[in-house]
Amino acid sequence: MSILSVKGLQKIYTTRFGGNKVEALRDVNFEVEKGEYVAIMGESGSGKTTLLNILAGLDKPTRGSVVLDGKDMASVKESAMAAFRRDNLGFVFQEFNLLDTFSIEDNIYLPLVLAGKSHREMRERLEPLAIELGIWDLLKKYPYEVSGGQKQRTAVARALITEPKLILADEPTGALDSKSTEELLRLFAEINMRGQTILMVTHSVKAASNAGRVLFIKDGEVYHQLYRGSSTAEEFYQKISNTLTIIATGGER
Partner 1 sequence: MKAGFYSRIAITGMRQNRRLYVPYLLACTGMVMMGYIVYFLSVSSAVRSMSGGATVSAMMSLGYFIMMIFTAIFLFYTNSFLIRRRKKEFGLYNILGMGKRNIGRVLLMETLITAAVSIGAGLILGAVFSKLAELAMVNMIGGDISYSISVSLTAMAITAMSFCIIYALIFINGLRQIHTSNPAELMRSENVGEKPPKANLLLGIGGIILMAGAYYMAVSIKNPLSALTWFFVAVAMVIIATYLIFIAGSVLMCRLLQKNKRYYYKPNHFVSVSSMVYRMKRNGAGLASICILATMVLVMITGSACLYFGAEDSLHARYPKDISAEITLSDFNSVNEEKISLFRNIVDEVIDESHEKVRERVEYCDATVSGINRDGTIVLDADDGDINDMDRIVNFVFVSVDDYNRITGNDYHIAGNQVMTYGVRTDYDESRLTFEDGTEFEIVKKLDSFFVSGNTAMDVVPTIAVVVPDLKESLGGLSAHLKDIDQGLRIHWYTGFNTDGDETEQRQFTGKLEGRLRAEAIDGNDDIYSYSCESLEANRSDFYATYGGLFFLGIILSIIFLCATVLIIYYKQISEGYEDESRFEIMQKVGMTKRNIRRSINSQMLTIFLLPLAMAVIHLAFAFPMIEKLLLLFNLVNLKLLLATAGVSVLIFALFYMVVYKVTSQVYYNIVSGKRAETR
Q: Which residues would be at the binding site for partner 1 (CB under 8 A)?
A: 56, 58, 79, 82-83, 85-87, 91, 93, 97-102, 106, 109-111, 113-116, 118-119, 122, 142, 144, 158, 162
Q: CB 162 → partner 1: shortest distance, Å?
A: 8
Q: CB 140 → partner 1: shortest distance, Å?
A: 11
Side by side, the strands of the sheet bearing 221-227 are: 71-72, 63-68, 2-14, 21-33, 221-227, 213-218, 37-42, 198-202, 166-170, 89-92
d(CA 32, CA 162): 20
Angle at 167 between CA 26 and CA 161, to 5 degrees: 155
Q: Which is nearer to partner 1, 107 or 209 (CB)?
A: 107
Q: CB 95 → partner 1: shortest distance, Å?
A: 9
Q: Which is nearer to partner 1, 1 or 144 (CB)?
A: 144
Q: Is 177 helix (H, G, I), strand (E, B) or coil?
A: coil
**What are the strands, taking DSSP E only, across 96-179?**
166-170
Could you tell me which residues are beta bridge partners of residue 212?
A: none
Q: Which is nearer to partner 1, 17 or 144 (CB)?
A: 144
Q: Which is nearer to partner 1, 111 or 172 (CB)?
A: 111
185 burial (CB, 10 Å; 0-12 / 13-18 / 19+) is buried
Q: Which is nearer to partner 1, 99 or 131 (CB)?
A: 99
Q: CB 80 → partner 1: shortest distance, Å?
A: 8
d(CA 41, CA 208): 8
Q: CB 200 → partner 1: shortest distance, Å?
A: 16
